[in-house]
Amino acid sequence: MEEFSVLIDALVYTRSRNEKLRLIAEYLRATPDPDRGWALAALSDGLDFPAVKSSTIRNLMKDRIDPVLWSLSRDFVGDTAETASLLWPAPDQPPSPPSVSETVELLEAMNRKSVVTELPKLLDRVDPSGRYALLKLATGGMRIGVSSRLAKTAFAQAFNVSVDEVEEYWHGLAPPYPELFAWAAEGEDPPDIDNLPTFRPFMLAHPLEETVVNLGDYAAEWKWDGIRVQLVRAGDETRVYSRSGDNISATFPELLDVLPFPAVLDGELLVRGTVQGGEEGGAASFNALQQRLGRKTVSKKMLKEAPAFVRLYDALLVEGEDLRPLPWTQRRARLEALMERLPDSHFDLSRIVEAKDFEHLAAIREGSRDDAIEGLMLKRKDSPYITGRRVGYWYKWKRDPLLVDCVLMYAQRGSGKRSSFYSDFTFGCWDGDPDAGADLLPVGKAYSGFTDEELKKLDRHVRRNTVNRFGPVRETDKSLVFEVAFDSVHESKRHKSGLAMRFPRIHRIRWDKPPHEADRVEALRALVRD
């Protein structure tokens, strides 16, 4: 655990990507199995110990510090694990740190009851840095500026293997990845994943921004506003994976017995609904899909009212054949040919958008106000299917956002990179004429869209203009206007205004604009389209 906590501290304070790669690679080479495997798991996907949650740590701290002082501290630091590591009372005994695998074993053995006595014993065995690393490891998600991809790249560098190959095997294996280390570090045979329904990392797109492409080289498709999924069948099992590689099969049981042959397919999961997505066809708005997300079980009623289907974009593997090295045009032809073997109850094909030239395409994009469309995708016709974002192959060209002027009402401190700054903002619109005494109604919340420099100014504004405090929430004097950008707005019973914005972010801070000139709730309601 000592070497691991030294690594974690070094990573926290390292800016350079190359230096991070070097630090992780060095650790992986120098550390024995299975410690390094557990460490790699902690750095990449995170480990999950059901008995240890943030709330567990909060409860442990309640016996050791006044709850008000705890929550003020937690609020300032923005991270439960770090706050606890700083406030944990120094133990009487000298440290006797366990190894990473011993730590994992002990954490795995804990249940909701025993964690109350066992976790403190473990915390008393390590120094403050060790406590930080231990709590981060125990609660999953290190949030120390190391992405899963970076950890895998470091693994590849450490043992001089290709990171694409690591990705390929990764999702078929489980921590502490003995097969992966045996292959990469000891030169044994690569892990066998052919008969497993494993996730293959997605090919992603860059935002188009100012780029102009030649439509001779690129094909255009609609970018559908659902969730990107990968449907995988190997042997008799079919699974649905989300963009991040989470297995979400249980949420969409209707898709688990409709793929008649082994394959890996890439598409957009959408639901059919009472509100149809215009002439482009058959999909309800994201709002309807949202009702189905995140559920562990699905009611019959839901399956009937909002059945899911997949609008296909691409085919990666079909009946044992790897199509990924082929150019997009050939994969597309194979996909089109596959359609007649797929039931149209659960599959359709994302159609190609035909345009004479780039200006024509821009005009088509402008005209698309269909609710299930987020914008356009541009795919280079000769592009192979490659993991991650590669410049020049795929572009996403989203519709321009909608804008509304709102007034800052409440602020809360953020976490992670934004910790200890007031960075989560709730804003409102006027419920009538502000000059005639109308009030503000909250319409949304945003915590992005500003620079670090602006964040500092916003933090100062909040601290200097607080009129009320509700626990960690500060109410401000409603003197600051935000121009808020968002993708769409929907009716919602959850908010007092009756409206919910999709993906709101701060577009501009209008330090200059008087608050009574901000928009009214009616103006926002007029933008509802379903």
Kindly list the residues in this chain that would bind another protein in the complex (CB under 8 A).
Answer: 12-15, 65-66, 68-69, 72-73, 76-79, 82-83, 86-87, 132, 145, 416-417, 419-421, 452, 464, 469
Least distance in angstroms from the C-beta of 60 to another protein: 16
- Give 77 or 408: the residue with its C-beta nearer to another protein: 77
- Give 207 or 471: the residue with its C-beta nearer to another protein: 471
Instruction: Please report where in the chains the tokens 């602006």 appear, as a residue.
Output: 454
Least distance in angstroms from the C-beta of 17 to another protein: 14
Instruction: Please report where in the chains the tokens 């080479």 appear, as a residue.
Output: 29
CA distance 134 to 100: 9
Bridge-based pairing state of the strands 347-349 and 308-318: parallel
3-state secondary structure of 123: helix
- Give 242 or 466: the residue with its C-beta nearer to another protein: 466
Please, what is the angle between helix 2-12 and helix 35-43, to 10°? 30
Least distance in angstroms from the C-beta of 82 to another protein: 6
DSSP tag of 428: E
Least distance in angstroms from the C-beta of 70 to another protein: 8
Exposure string of 140-155, with b = 16+ CB inside 10 Å and e = fewer, is bebbbebebebbbbbb
By C-alpha distance, which of 5, 216, 275 is closest to 128? 5
- Give 249 or 465: the residue with its C-beta nearer to another protein: 465
- Give 388 or 416: the residue with its C-beta nearer to another protein: 416
Q: Which helix (H) or strand (E) holds 311?
A: strand 308-318
Alpha-carbon dihedral of residues 192, 194, 197, 198, nearest 10 degrees? Answer: 60
Least distance in angstroms from the C-beta of 412 to another protein: 15
- Give 396 or 418: the residue with its C-beta nearer to another protein: 418
By C-alpha distance, which of 276, 273, 303, 269 is closest to 288? 273
Least distance in angstroms from the C-beta of 53 to another protein: 21
- Give 301 or 464: the residue with its C-beta nearer to another protein: 464
CA distance 264 to 234: 9
- Give 63 or 319: the residue with its C-beta nearer to another protein: 63
Provide the sign of the torsion angle of the four alpha carbons 153, 158, 160, 165, taken in this order: negative
- Give 67 or 343: the residue with its C-beta nearer to another protein: 67
Q: What share of the chain is helix, strand, coil (3-state, %, to 5)?
A: 35, 25, 40
Q: How many CB atoms lie within 10 A of CB 233?
A: 21
Least distance in angstroms from the C-beta of 448 to another protein: 16
- Give 86 or 339: the residue with its C-beta nearer to another protein: 86
Least distance in angstroms from the C-beta of 416 to another protein: 7
DSSP tag of 414: B
Bridge-based pairing state of the strands 218-224 and 373-380: antiparallel
Least distance in angstroms from the C-beta of 92 to another protein: 18
DSSP per position, 213-235: --TTTEEEEEEESSEEEEEEEET
CB neighbour class for 257 (10 Å; exposed up to 12, middle 13-18, buried from 19): exposed
Least distance in angstroms from the C-beta of 13 to another protein: 5
